[in-house]
Amino acid sequence: MGKGMRAGKKPKTRQSGGDMQKQLKQLQRMQAEMEETQAQLGEKEITTTAGGGAVEVTVNGNKEITKLTIDKDVVDPDDVEMLQDLVMAAVNEAMRQVEEMVESEMNKITGGLGAMGGGMGFPGF
């Protein structure tokens, strides 16, 4: 151990002001990219089906249902539960796929640092 060093202590490191400025600029650039990507994701849509196409749902990247189609043949007043299950299945699958799409696009920017998105106001992070 060097002079003045104790076991278990790490040497102090200093970051110059230039390094801090560089990191801040990188973070600002990353945030701008994330905002742009989020806007682009809002325009993308995922369409899923359930019941062999009897129920079709379209969800955008903002996790909003933009279209819901139900085949009239599955509308049975005596079996409303089946229709409810089909709608839930289609919506849940669409939401899962949108979540994967958003995560994939954000990981391209953050390099897989998903935790960084947590405080930046992006859905799903």
Q: Are 48 and 90 in contact (CB under 8 A)?
A: yes
Q: How far apart are the C-alpha atoms of 102 and 38, rounded to whole Å?
A: 8
Q: How far apart are the C-alpha atoms of 30 and 113, rounded to whole Å?
A: 12
For 47, the token pair is 């369409």
Q: Are 57 and 68 in contact (CB under 8 A)?
A: yes
Q: How far apart are the C-alpha atoms of 80 and 57, rounded to whole Å?
A: 18
Torsions phi, psi of 90, nearest 5?
-65, -45
Q: What is the three-class DSSP state of 1?
A: coil
Over the stretch 12-65, which tens digit does the pLDDT of each residue have?
655 566 788 888 888 888 888 888 888 888 899 999 999 999 999 999 999 999
Q: What is the CATH number of domain 44-111?
A: 3.30.1310.10
Domain boundaries, the chain: 44-111
Over the stretch 60-98, which tens digit does the pLDDT of each residue have?
999 999 999 999 999 999 999 999 999 999 999 999 999
